[in-house]
């Protein structure tokens, strides 16, 4: 029997009812602002759908014209609950969500498991939301794909870029970096900080620090890879929780950025 990571935040970050979840994601994608970009890589937020779903949908909507070509998704997100030295594979073969099972690319995982910065940690993935909240969007956008999820802890941008290089592939491989921006700043301050962070990303300047983006390490690794592969970043959406579903007192920033 294959080993399975069950959903951990269904009912918290997004609906745990299959029909409701499918409907909500469909509506988010249908109403997303359209951009004529065919991305190799995306940066997307990972808050609850009520907060960042619209911003995430803006990124995933760009996949619709190329969805049939994408058969593998390399998904990187920061660890929030478990301290990890390096990049952690989950040690399972399937991720489960209310929309069904997502098969992992076991053969591709074997190609990187011996790298010194890569480890296997079921604990790092068990309750991690940064990766899980991307799955319903991927399941709703792509037709048939395998997933390679990496929970990124303490690592250098160079070590992340090295892993991305091993997995880069061609048009069949999509890179997704899951990251929010600033956390719990007043609305106007957050706008200034997040604008500066986004400008750094658009100019391919790293490092992106963790106080400016919780996924700063995988973002910085992607920037190095984008420089090598001559990718161009495009800002699709930039808002915060004060714009979507929260107060202006303490907000969390969200950006959607596509690289082609």
Residue 145, pLDDT > 90, answer yes
Give the residue-averaged pLDDT of 52-60.
Answer: 98
Residue 1, pLDDT > 90, answer no
pLDDT in tens, 153-203: 999 999 999 999 999 999 999 999 999 999 999 999 999 999 999 999 999
Fold (topology level) of 4-259:
Protocatechuate 4,5-dioxygenase; Chain B (3.40.830)
- What whole-number distance in Å separates Cα of residue 147 and Cα of residue 134? 11
Mean pLDDT for the chain overall: 97
pLDDT in tens, 75-114: 999 999 999 999 999 999 999 999 999 999 999 999 999 9
Residue 122, pLDDT > 90, answer yes
What pLDDT sits at residue 125? 98
The H helix count followed by the E strand count for the chain is 10, 12
Structure tokens at 71: 């058969």
DSSP E strands, 79-202: 87-89, 94-97, 100-103, 118-120, 146-152, 173-178, 183-185
What pLDDT sits at residue 243? 98
Give the residue-averaged pLDDT of 60-77.
Answer: 98
For the chain, the domains span 4-259
What pLDDT sits at residue 35? 94
Give the residue-averaged pLDDT of 225-246.
Answer: 97
| Overall size of the chain counted in residues | 260
Structure tokens at 30: 């249908």
Binned at pLDDT 50, 70 and 90, residue 229 comes out as: very high
Q: Classify each residue of 169-204 as buried b or exposed e, where b means 16 or more C-beta atoms within 10 Å of its C-beta.
A: eeeebbbbbbbbbbbebebeebbebbeebbebbeee
Give SS3 for 187. Answer: helix
């Amino acid at each position: 029997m294959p080993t399975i990571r069950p959903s951990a935040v269904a009912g918290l970050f997004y609906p745990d009812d299959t029909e409701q979840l499918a409907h909500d994601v469909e509506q988010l994608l249908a109403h997303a602002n359209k951009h004529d970009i065919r991305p190799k890589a995306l940066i997307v937020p990972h808050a609850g759908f009520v907060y960042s779903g619209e911003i995430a949908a803006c990124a995933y909507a760009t996949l619709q014209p190329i969805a049939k070509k994408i058969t593998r998704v390399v998904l990187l997100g920061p660890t929030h609950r478990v301290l990890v030295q390096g990049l952690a594979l989950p040690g399972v073969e399937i991720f489960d969500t209310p929309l069904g099972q997502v098969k992992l690319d076991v053969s591709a995982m074997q190609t990187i498991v011996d790298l010194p910065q890569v480890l296997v940690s079921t604990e790092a993935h068990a309750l991690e939301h940064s990766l899980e909240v991307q799955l319903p969007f991927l399941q709703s956008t792509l037709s048939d794909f395998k997933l390679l999820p990496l929970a990124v802890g303490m690592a250098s941008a160079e070590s992340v870029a090295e892993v991305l290089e091993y997995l880069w592939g061609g048009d069949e491989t999509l890179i997704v970096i899951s990251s929010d921006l600033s956390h719990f700043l007043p609305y106007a301050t957050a706008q200034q900080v997040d604008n500066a962070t986004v400008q750094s990303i658009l100019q391919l300047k790293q490092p992106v620090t963790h106080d400016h983006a919780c996924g700063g390490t995988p973002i910085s690794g992607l920037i190095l890879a984008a420089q090598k592969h001559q990718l161009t970043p495009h800002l699709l959406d930039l808002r915060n929780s004060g714009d979507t579903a929260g107060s202006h007192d303490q907000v969390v920033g969200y950006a959607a950025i596509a690289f082609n």
